[in-house]
Amino acid sequence: MTTIQAPATADTLVVSEVFGPTVQGEGPTTGRRASFVRLGGCNLSCSWCDTAYTWDSSRYDLRAELRRLPVDAIAARALAGSPGLVVISGGEPLMHQNQPGWTVLLDTLTSAGADIEVETNGTIAPTTETLASGARFNCSPKLTHSGDPLDKRIRPDALTALAESGRAIFKFVCSGPDDVDEAAELIHRYGIPPATVWISPEGTDAEQVLHHGKAVAEPAIRHGFNVGTRLHTLLWGKERRR
């Protein structure tokens, strides 16, 4: 991506990377041709995070990793190659939704005819403007094995708002049957319909994804959930911008 420095006063957003077209690797649109806008910063710090370069200043030089870019440049790069779907990811992208550049980005992508998916950890409720954009939400609440404290990773108001939007699916990263049971407990507590749940096997290489996929598939099906994968990991491993 071209590095363009822009003043914070313009319609800008803090970006880690914009790439594609590639494929959506997770959730109900797995395999769909898509580009990604990865925004900087996160309000959690999951132990197994595979995009820690967007938020972890103890391991990465965030001044080199993140750039404030004009929204028109972000949108132009995301729409290059006519991907059809643009996934806004992070980090935690909903941390940016009160910046003017956020709605400009959503409007620009929608006007160009792109479908939008926002990948969120489910701790921040979408604003009225975000909901009005027509974006769909891939919400991934974090379980105990993330290492995040319960009161940080589970925010009932945000989960309820996402469920009530009617445009969210809930993706749980699981390594084994106990994780699937924990996901089941959560969704029953917050009234999330099982048909909107995808169980995604944890793993940063094909071997782990398959190993965990085999461990979680049966319990997921028993609970009435869908079973997902990490297609980008199966195809390209840890390679970035895939």
Binding site for ligand SF4 (CB under 6 A): 42, 44-46, 49, 51, 90-92, 121
The CA angle 122-125-127, to the nearest 5 degrees, is 140
Q: CB of residue 140 vs ligand SF4: minimum separation in angstroms?
A: 7
Give the shortest CB-49-to-ligand SF4 separation in angstroms: 3
Contact between 180 and 171 under an 8 Å Cβ cutoff? The reply is no
| CB 90, min distance to ligand SF4, A | 5
Least Å from the CB of residue 45 to ligand SF4: 5
Nearer to ligand SF4, 104 or 124 (CB): 124
Helix and strand totals (H; E) in the chain: 9, 9
What sign results for the dihedral spanned by CA atoms 231, 236, 239, 242?
A: negative
Identify the three-state secondary structure at position 15.
strand
Element (H, E) at 22: strand 12-23
Please report the DSSP string for 35-53 in residue order: EEEEES--S---TT-S-GG
In whole angstroms, the minimum distance from the beta carbon of 201 to ligand SF4 comes to 15
150/195 with CB nearer ligand SF4: 150
Q: From the CB of residue 143, how many other CB atoms can be counted at a distance below 10 Å?
A: 22
Identity of the residue, 20 or 93, whose beta carbon is nearer to ligand SF4 in the bound complex: 93
Q: How far apart are CA 99 and CA 112, in angstroms?
A: 21
Q: Which C-beta is closer to ligand SF4: that of 44 or that of 131?
A: 44
| Closer by beta carbon to ligand SF4, 108 or else 232 | 232
Helices (H), the chain: 62-65, 71-79, 100-111, 128-132, 150-153, 156-164, 177-189, 206-222, 231-236
Nearer to ligand SF4, 15 or 46 (CB): 46
CB of 162 to ligand SF4, least distance (A): 14
In the complex, what is the shortest distance from the CB of residue 145 to ligand SF4, in angstroms, rounded to a whole number? Answer: 11
Residue 108 or residue 179: which is nearer to ligand SF4 going by CB?
A: 179
Query: Beta strand pairing status for 226-227 and 67-70?
Result: unpaired
